[in-house]
Structure 1
Amino acid sequence: MSPSTRARRAARARRPRPRLRTSVGALALAVLGALLPGTAYLAARRFRLGTVVTLTSLTAYGAAAYLGLKRRDDVIAWALDPELLLWVVGGLAAAALCWVVVLVTSYKMLRPLTAAPVSRLFGAVVVGLVCFAMASSTALGAQTLMAQRSLVRKVFGNDETKSQTRPTITNTKDVWAQLPRLNILLLGADDGEGRDGTRTDTVMVASIDTRTGDTALISLTRNWMRMPFPKDSPLHKLYPTGFWDPNGPKEQSNFYLDAMYRMVPELHPGILGPSDNEGADVLKLSVGEALGLKLHYYVQINLAGFEQLVEALGGITVNINYPVPVGGNDDKQIPPNRYLEPGPNRHLNGEDALWFARGRYKVPGADVARQARQRCTIKAIVERATPQNVLTNYQSIAKAGEQLIRTDVPEKLVPHLVGLGQKVKSARISNIDLDKKKNYPNGRNPNYAGMRAIVQNALTPQPKPRPTAPATTTTRRPTTQPTTKPSTRPAATPTTSDNLTEACAYNPS
């Protein structure tokens, strides 16, 4: 390098950098520059450094926008990968550190050298507050990601579970091509005070058209007996006429549907092979046989966790058409503490939402009425779980979810279910009425064949036959017509499928 070249570079190095004349202007430019890191460097004439940092920032913003708009499924899949979430938390911390460094150095480059001590102190305080806000938002984001990681590991960390009742997914790229209709068993488990083990007072099936998101809800009554089992199940050999004791008394509460979760594993442990929840697997088989459906997965809701979830969502809004009891016990003749008063658009907190879904003390048609309110509760939760509300309260929701949910849905299927959930939210949710008057006037001997016909007709309705033209009459010799024997097959009861928007409307009785 020649002496003249070295002299020119030394002169440029000694040349003072341009600075703003006021501390307020420098502070404002540095803080605004934090929105697009690197622009404040350009204002300070640090062109090389500013160009690199600005282009890096623009690239990061562009990548985030692309992922959010075009690759949402991938983002959801990453958010459900516990190991990847750890790397994201680390990357978030590194990005926050770089962000703070850029802000501080930008202000130092732009601040006048002759600024008064008061101006310097004011600038330092403002920069410190902005850095604190950056660190706080980063910490909040990291806590949310860690809450998500904990939820995924505790609820869905069961990919290796072996269960004969869970389907084997072979087409992982297009899961719904393999499952055009997804049937999920929904269980409300209550192991509260005075209960001998866990009872599933709420048993429902959500049958989802994975193409459209249209969902049909089917409610089962807790005191049904003689619940059937598939013929290829070892339980069918033990109970060929359903789950009951032919030699027992007329009233057999331990053979009710709500007792099967506890009683079958106690009476026949391990009969279904490897399982992490024998009671749920038993109900998947039996409920599926009763309705003529293949139940793919179960979701078990703990009632105490349900209350926490509603609180985390900020409550739910429902229409109450008659006084709903809070507490009370029919068997022990203990009256309720109070009632939920009728009214439209009633906002309920967690405790009241729980009793809206389960209250039954001397309610006319208690079990059927409770099933209807439970369907309306699910509808209200779906409506309340908007993306904005979920993101705002995510840590509380995730914490409640850990106590609330038990399921055999594998972790690898969750991203697909999230996408399906978006379809369900904007699709039609209906109710399949199993016709209590004809099919189960009481719970001792329900007509499961009639129920299967109703479900089949509701989910795969047969096209109506076209009217045929009258046949041309011709003169023929009379013939004797053979007598047709009446069919012994059970008659299919007409299907009733009510839109939940209408069923859950305010219509006081």
Structure 2
Amino acid sequence: MTKLDNPIRYPDAGSSEVMTKRGWWLVLLGFFIPGAPQVLAGSRKLGRFGLGATLTLWAGIVVAVITYLVWPQAIYALFTQRIAITVVQVFLLFYAVLWLVLTLNTLRLVRIVKVKPRSRAFVAGTAVLALLLTSGSTAYAAYLLNVQRGLLGIFTQAERAEPIDGRYNILLLGADAGEDREGVRPDSITIVSVDAETGQAVMVGVPRDVRNIPIPEASPLMQVFTDGLDEGKVNGLYSSGMLNAGIYPDAAASGSNAGIEATKDGLEGLTGITIQYYVMVDMAGFAHMIDALGGVTITVESRVAMAGHGATGNIQYIEPGVQKLDGGTALWYARSRFDTTDWDRMVRQRNLQVAILEQFTPANVLSKYQGIADAGSQIITTDIPESMLAYFVDLATKTKKLEPIRVDLGPDVIDQDNPDTAYLHEHLHSVLYPPVAEESEAPAGG
């Protein structure tokens, strides 16, 4: 092949017109098909390596897409298992360095000084932009995976657990350890029961002031409350457990503590729901999570005072209507007890939980992931095993498509001073396992 037959490799360097067109071709080829400029105009060995790596990446993406469509849990596992994250990071950093080398080499092949003067900045700027979109974005993705690895530290290394009667039951606690309190008191108590197949979630809101709840006979808590929980409130179980930590010697090994286990046992006696895992959110740091999400949009049913119980003076209010709340305001919305009841407060907390879940869209999470991960690692404790994250992420995608069933244990359901637990067990069982209507038999004689 002569020089005239291959103007890309053997251009007329004296023609700025030819060199400009050639420069644009090389830069654009380098962006869409990394390695192609080297094969056409530079080191064929480097170009073949770059092309091979590019084709391997494309094939990997195709396989990943097909796998996601057929078995999404396998893809989720890449981002929820430490070893898998490390492997993906290595590949991302490899491509970031490779694209950096190929882009700089492409700029050398362009011979920018031979390009038309008015086009030089555009050609070079396009190459730099291509470098940011490829190498820069890949390096940033590797960094985010490092952030993800740090977030995984809140999960345990326990074994996977099977669902109980087809459901996973998770205790969600909003904990408060204010200066006016002795120890931690869960102010928000919700049992989230999720169907292991469909993802349908049932959210059971438990008032914090419920008394006289029975303790399961097999619970170590019976050593403390032999006649059940009489005058103590359900949200005091955490402190009771921590004060008698010796009755739960294995709690720490499973990523829990005696306070959590005592709370689980008490709630199981009250609701009849066996709780497998817990997630506890520090309410003091809760605002940071809301801010990391960019605020939360919620429909406020009635004005809520941003003040504590019995406050006087100039009081600010959250007005009714659709409002976008920042972290601090959302915290007042969830916690305010000024001129309202605990039942109202519980309903607001449930509304806020649902609104926050709706904010966790893929686009929102990806665009704010570092802030969300940093906030989450500081305010969340849980005993959910790392090995179950891929499964739960897959299940959560189904849950988001379905309206959660809400059961708030308000005055119309229980007497908080003397709850009828037998009725409550039956009521909640009917919600979790609704009777299936039998299909009518086909008429005889067709």
TM (norm. structure 2) is 0.85
Match of 1:310 among 281, 284, 290: 290
SS in 2 for 1:140: helix
Match of 2:421 among 448, 459, 479: 448
Partner of 2:56: 59
Correspondence 1:281 to 2:268: no
Partner of 1:372: 347
Correspondence 1:430 to 2:405: yes
Partner of 2:317: 339
CA apart distance, 1:217:
0.9
Correspondence 1:28 to 2:24: yes
Partner of 2:393: 418
Which AA in structure 2 matches 1:447? D
CA apart distance, 1:192:
2.5
Deviations 1:258-286 (A, max 9, x none): 222113321x2220222132111111111
Partner of 1:300: 280
**1:102–1:240 Cα change, 3 Å:** same
**1:133–1:187 Cα change, 3 Å:** same
Deviations 1:378-397 (A, max 9, x none): 11112111111111110011
Matched-pair contact (CA < 8 Å) for 1:17–1:44:
yes
Deviations 1:220-269 (A, max 9, x none): 1111122322111232244233223xxxxxxx5xx211222113321x22
Distance 1:86 1:51 in 2: 27
Which AA in structure 2 matches 1:317? T
CA apart distance, 1:458:
1.4
By relative contact order (CA 8 Å, sep 6+), the higher-ranking structure is 2
CA apart distance, 1:216:
1.0
Deviations 1:64-83 (A, max 9, x none): 23213424322221212224
**1:97–1:437 Cα change, 3 Å:** closer
Matched-pair contact (CA < 8 Å) for 2:67–2:74:
no
**1:378–1:49 Cα change, 3 Å:** same
Distance 2:342 2:275 in 1: 23
Distance 2:248 2:66 in 1: 45
Matched-pair contact (CA < 8 Å) for 1:223–1:257:
yes
Same amino acid, percent of matched pairs: 30
SS in 1 for 2:247: coil
SS in 1 for 2:191: strand
**1:358–1:425 Cα change, 3 Å:** same
Matched-pair contact (CA < 8 Å) for 1:204–1:217:
yes
Deviations 1:202-228 (A, max 9, x none): 111011111111111111111112232
Correspondence 1:352 to 2:329: yes
Partner of 2:241: 264
Partner of 2:11: 19
Which AA in structure 2 matches 1:382? L
Which AA in structure 1 matches 2:400? K
**1:129–1:196 Cα change, 3 Å:** same
Query: Structure 2 stretches of 5 or more lacking a match?
Result: 441-446
SS in 1 for 2:32: coil
CA apart distance, 1:92:
1.9
Distance 1:113 1:342 in 2: 65
Which AA in structure 2 matches 1:32? L
SS in 2 for 1:436: coil
Distance 1:56 1:114 in 2: 30
CA apart distance, 1:430:
1.1
Match of 2:433 among 460, 466, 470: 460
Matched-pair contact (CA < 8 Å) for 1:39–1:50:
yes
RMSD of the alignment, in Å? 3.1
Q: How many residues are paired up?
A: 424
**1:341–1:53 Cα change, 3 Å:** same
1:54-453 map, 5 Å: 54-71=51-68, 72-111=72-111, 127-128=127-128, 130-131=130-131, 134-153=134-153, 155-156=154-155, 158-160=156-158, 169=160, 175=162, 180-244=166-230, 255-266=232-243, 268-276=244-252, 277-330=257-310, 333-334=311-312, 337-343=315-321, 345-363=322-340, 366-434=341-409, 436-437=411-412, 439-440=414-415, 443-453=416-426
Distance 2:89 2:436 in 1: 54
Distance 1:451 1:184 in 2: 18
SS in 1 for 2:239: helix
CA apart distance, 1:147:
0.8
Distance 1:342 1:296 in 2: 37
TM (norm. structure 1) is 0.76
Partner of 2:444: none
Distance 1:326 1:358 in 2: 9
Distance 2:9 2:401 in 1: 58
Deviations 1:321-361 (A, max 9, x none): 1111212124xx55683110011x21111111122222221
Deviations 1:48-72 (A, max 9, x none): 6545532431221221232134243
Stretch moving more, 204-213 or 190-199: 190-199
Match of 1:37 among 34, 39, 45: 34
Which AA in structure 1 matches 2:337? R
Distance 1:79 1:36 in 2: 27
Distance 1:379 1:16 in 2: 59
Distance 1:464 1:112 in 2: 75
SS in 2 for 1:461: coil
Bigger CA radius of gyration: 1
**1:45–1:407 Cα change, 3 Å:** closer
Query: Structure 1 stretches of 5 or more lacking a match?
Result: 1-7, 161-167, 245-251, 468-509
SS in 1 for 2:407: strand
Which AA in structure 2 matches 1:279? G
Distance 1:135 1:241 in 2: 66
**1:454–1:370 Cα change, 3 Å:** same
CA apart distance, 1:425:
0.2
CA apart distance, 1:187:
0.4
